[in-house]
Amino acid sequence: MSGPQKRKSRGASGSGARALGVRVKTAKGRKVSSTRWLERQLNDPYVQAAKREGYRSRAAYKLLAIDEKHDLLKRGDVVVDLGAAPGGWSQVAVRKVADEGMVVALDLQEIEPIPGVTTLQADFMEDEGLARLRVELGDRKADIVLSDMAAPATGHKQTDHLRIMALCEAALDFAEEILAPEGRFLAKVLQGGTERDLLDRLRRNFRSVRHVKPEASRSDSAELYVLATGYRGGS
């Protein structure tokens, strides 16, 4: 697998000594939280790997890990990436599906062009967004719907959980409109798992449902992903 998972830091002598991390001084006018975020970014091996390997975000390695373990993305797939900006997941997807496949990325923000990817600045929760996607798909249906969306954190655990679950449910509503039979759905949730009503719905409509946490998810992060495969609808 590409990325930092298989690499170990070694000292200049080759003895295997642990590399020293970068420390960031708190500058005047910069919050302590901002300094900690910057320090974490500078020392994050996935951030470094993303820059080195041309991915737009460290999130690319989450999808790469899930794909490697669960054989998620297949050559020739039609992929819809919701909340796709800045485009790291779409970059992974377009490389996996190759020329026979198709990747459509949607986001409220404008997405810088990605070779081989159709980008739409659209709200997937509005009828117009769905209509624009259907125009792009033509007579094809999606083999997989991806969602790495997360609502801005409030710091209140219960509120944040409810907001991200609402996004996941909206993504599933959308997926059920466009997925082909045996299609797949991958969406971000938070630890504590998928709420029972949504989990029951997924189990009714897909043959297999599981939670996955890729190695690239930070250890202090509550994020988790729900992966559903074998869509029973779509006819």
The DSSP string of 106-119 is EESS-----TTEEE
- pTM for this structure? 0.79
Shared domain check, 126 and 31: no
Shared domain check, 78 and 27: no
Shared domain check, 120 and 36: no
Shared domain check, 219 and 113: yes
Residue 57: what pLDDT? 85
Q: Which residue has the tokens 């910057």?
A: 38
pLDDT tens by residue, 63-93 = 999 999 999 999 999 999 999 999 999 999 9
pLDDT tens by residue, 155-202 = 777 787 788 889 999 999 999 999 999 999 999 988 765 678 889 999
Asked if the structure places residue 54 within a domain, the reply is no
Domain extent for 146: 60-231
CB 96 within 8 A of CB 67: yes
* Residue 157 is a catalytic residue: no
Shared domain check, 90 and 38: no
Number of domains in the chain: 2
Shared domain check, 134 and 109: yes
Q: Which of 14, 24, 17 is nearest to 44 (CA)?
A: 24
Q: Assess whether pLDDT exceeds 80 at residue 38.
A: no
Asked if the structure places residue 120 within a domain, the reply is yes
Looking at 8, 141, 188, 213, which residue is catalytic?
A: 188
